[in-house]
Amino acid sequence: MKKQYIFILSLSATLILMAVISVALGRFPISTGELFAAISDRLTGRTSVSATTSAILFNVRLPRILLACLVGCCLSSAGVAYQGTFRNPMASPDILGASSGAAAGAAIAILLELSGRMVTVFAFVFSLATIALVTLVSKAARGERILGIILAGIMVSSLANAVTSFIKLVADPNSILPEITYWLMGSLAKTKPADTLFALIPMTIGMVPLFFLRWRINLLTLPDNEARSLGINVNATRGAVIVCSTLITAASVSVSGLIGWVGLVVPHLARRIVGSDFRVLLPTSAIGGALFLLLVDNVSRNLLITEIPIGILTSVIGAPFFIWLMTRREVTE
């Protein structure tokens, strides 16, 4: 266990170092010295760096870096929590339809030509509404509780996808449709400080209890009868984990668009390194997810002249990993 915590500390240090390096990457280079000088200026009121550098740093670069870390952390944490809760190694953050609901909400807002802030709000609200509908349907379903939730998620997600497809069909192909399509690809290109603040609140509300519940997720991987015999309320614990995971997923998708595979790839890589104890696995996945998405975002905004939507890059990495995962004996048997 001691080695595992040392690994977590090392991973955290790597994330901090990569965040500092990421500040210097971009069309407008900012050195490490300028970074610390700009921060010092904000604290002391001095003006040792140019107004342009300060504006780019605090209004564009730092909010985007922070949001990339937050989204990666939350998607990965939600993925590992779902995998433990549903006892399914292939579970991912969109298993209950949160991503599909957010896509439908964003598409509606874009079709109505609302502001960027309202697109985020619509995506967040529709994501939560989708999960509420999944919960109602699963309660009415007969049979095993977990299976009912998953099947309800699949059905409601299909309905939300149909809504998104219809909106794309009726949208203006010259202006509205390209914007919807770009949002669905997932990107952090239009990140603003307000977006980071908007996402930070529900992310914190979801992540804090999820962190304290991580040892109970170990018990949720057991059959319900065994978990109850160990003294936990299975339904209440499972419900709390699902609510927290859904909240951070909805917050992430609402500000970043659809970014897949993070909640599947990172938890499995973390599990191979630190094992299946969620007391260590969840924080490792959270930090690893933040580092992973920060690296991918750096590539997306610096590889070509035109920025590559981050959702495309995560799919390019995730799909081969999924194929490898499906062929592994311990997963498929």
Q: What is the pLDDT of residue 231?
A: 82
Average pLDDT of the residues in 90-102: 87
What's the CA gap between 333 and 326, in Å, rounded?
10
Q: What is the pLDDT, as a whole number, of residue 326?
A: 67
Contact in structure between 151 and 70 (CB atoms under 8 Å): no
Every domain of the chain and the residues it spans: 66-332
Q: With a cut of 50, say whether residue 333 has pLDDT above it.
A: no
pLDDT band at 321 (very low <50, low <70, confident <90, very high): confident
Question: Which of the two residues, 150 and 72, has the higher pLDDT score?
Answer: 72
13-39 tens-digit pLDDT? 999 999 999 998 888 888 888 888 888
| Average pLDDT rounded to a whole number, residues 234-263 | 92
Indicate the pLDDT class of residue 329, thresholds 50, 70 and 90: low
Over residues 268-280, mean pLDDT:
90
pLDDT at residue 331 is higher than 80: no
Span 35-52, pLDDT tens digits:
888 888 888 877 778 888
Tokens 């160990």 identify what position? 230
- Say what the pLDDT of residue 105 is: 95
Task: Give the contacts of 208 (CB within 8 A, at least 6 positions apart).
Answer: none
Let me know the angle formed at the C-alpha of 315 by 295 and 109, rounded to the nearest 5 degrees: 95
First to last CA, the chain: 29
For a pLDDT cut of 90, what percent of the chain falls above it? 54
Q: What is the pLDDT of residue 290?
A: 96
Residue 64 has pLDDT above 60, yes or no: yes
Question: Which two tokens mark 11?
Answer: 């991973």
> In the CATH scheme, what is the homologous superfamily, with its name and number, of domain 66-332?
ABC transporter involved in vitamin B12 uptake, BtuC (1.10.3470.10)
Which of 4-8, 177-181, 220-224 is the least confident region?
220-224
Return the biggest CA–CA distance within the chain.
67
Q: Is the pLDDT of residue 235 over 90?
A: no
Taking the whole predicted model, whether its pTM rises above 0.75 is answered as yes
Residue 325 has pLDDT above 70, yes or no: no
Q: Is the model's pLDDT at 145 over the cut of 80?
A: no
What is the rounded CA–CA span in Å between residue 79 and residue 264?
6
pLDDT at 223 over 90: no
| CB-CB neighbours of 35 under 10 Å | 18
Mean pLDDT of 184-191: 89
Residue 332 pLDDT level (bands cut at 50, 70, 90): very low
36 contacts 312 by C-beta, under 8 angstroms: no
Per mean pLDDT, which of 33-37, 121-125, 148-152 is the most reliable? 121-125
